[in-house]
Amino acid sequence: MPEPKSTFDATYPCDFYEPAELFEPDQMYTIPEIARLLQELEPDAEVDPDTEAVLIDWAIPWVMAHAEDLVIAEPLTEDGPGYYGVAPHAIGGEAGDGESDDADPHNGA
């Protein structure tokens, strides 16, 4: 149920990192690792399952909103997670154009 803003003691800007600020340029990350990074935690930090679920709820829309500045990789194992990293064009501060030197020719990119 929606709540009036007056219910809350304070509100804050919804300001998130850009991929180039969050990721090491030569690393790929899973959604749970991205969720931790968005909270200024180490990618392998221990968090309880309930907290991790909330963090992931924030990370998934972040990934979707920054998709043009990300690259993805297939899971390392058949049942493993996907991996995301910063796109080369996003490292230099350029706006994303959705293209990558590593584009998969099988998906029409």
Name which of 21, 20, 54, 18 is nearest 35 in CA terms: 54
The reported pTM is 0.75
Cβ neighbour number for residue 75 with a 10 Å cutoff: 11
Strands (E) located in the chain: 70-73, 83-86
Name which of 30, 9, 21 is nearest 86 in CA terms: 21
Instruction: Please give the DSSP secondary-structure letter assigned to residue 84.
Output: E
Q: What is the pLDDT along the chain (109 residues), one digit of tens a residue?
A: 999 999 999 988 877 889 999 999 999 999 999 999 999 999 999 999 999 999 999 999 999 999 999 999 999 999 999 999 999 999 975 544 444 444 443 444 4
